[in-house]
Structure 1
Amino acid sequence: MTRIPMMPLFSLVSAVSLFAFTVQAQAQGLSSEMSFKVVEMTEDGTESLVERDTVRPGEMIEYAITHHNGMDADLLGLAVAVPVPAGVTYVPGNETSSLPANFEVQAEMEPEIPGLEWSALPAFRTVIDATGAKRREPLPAEAIEAVRWNLDAALSSGEAALNSYRVVVN
Structure 2
Amino acid sequence: MMTKITERIKAVLLTALLTTAATANADVLESHMSAWLVKQQENKEVLKPAGEAGPGDIIEYRMTYKNTQASPLSALTISVPVPDNTAYVAASATTPVKSQFEASIDGGKTWEHEPIKRLRKTAEGKLRMTDIPVSEYTNIRWLAENPIQPAEQQAFTYRVQVK
- TM tier relative to shorter chain: 0.7 to 0.9
> Which stretch shifts more, 127-136 or 45-54?
127-136
Q: Provide closer, same or farther for how the CA distance between residues 13 and 102 of structure 1 changes in structure 2, counting only shifts above 3 A.
A: farther
For the 8 Å contact 1:29–1:69, the answer to whether it is kept is: yes
After TM superposition, the structure 1 = structure 2 runs for residues 7-156 of structure 1, keeping only pairs within 5 Å, are: 7=12, 8-10=15-17, 11-12=19-20, 14-15=22-23, 27-43=26-42, 45-108=43-106, 116-128=109-121, 133-156=126-149
Off by >2 Å, runs of 4+ in structure 1: 12-16, 125-135
Q: Following TM superposition, by how much is the alpha carbon of 1:27 offset from its aligned partner in structure 2, in angstroms?
A: 1.8
Q: Which amino acid aligns with 2:30?
A: S
Q: Which amino acid aligns with 1:12?
A: T
Query: SS of 2:135's equivalent?
Result: helix
Q: Following TM superposition, by how much is the alpha carbon of 1:130 offset from its aligned partner in structure 2, in angstroms?
A: 9.3
Percent identical across equivalent pairs? Answer: 28
Gaps of 5+ in 1: 17-25, 109-114
Query: SS of 1:120's equivalent?
Result: coil
CA distance in 1, matches of 2:74, 2:125: 45
Q: Which amino acid aligns with 1:37?
A: W
Q: Provide closer, same or farther for how the CA distance between residues 37 and 104 of structure 1 changes in structure 2, counting only shifts above 3 A.
A: same
- Which structure features the higher share of helix residues? 2
Give the TM-score of the pair, scaled to structure 2.
0.83
Q: Provide closer, same or farther for how the CA distance between residues 60 and 98 of structure 1 changes in structure 2, counting only shifts above 3 A.
A: same
CA distance in 1, matches of 2:21, 2:142: 11
Give the TM-score of the pair, scaled to structure 1.
0.80
Query: SS of 1:82's equivalent?
Result: strand
For the 8 Å contact 2:87–2:135, the answer to whether it is kept is: yes
- Which structure features the higher share of strand residues? 1
Query: How many aligned residue pairs are there?
Result: 154
CA distance in 1, matches of 2:16, 2:98: 22
Gaps of 5+ in 2: none
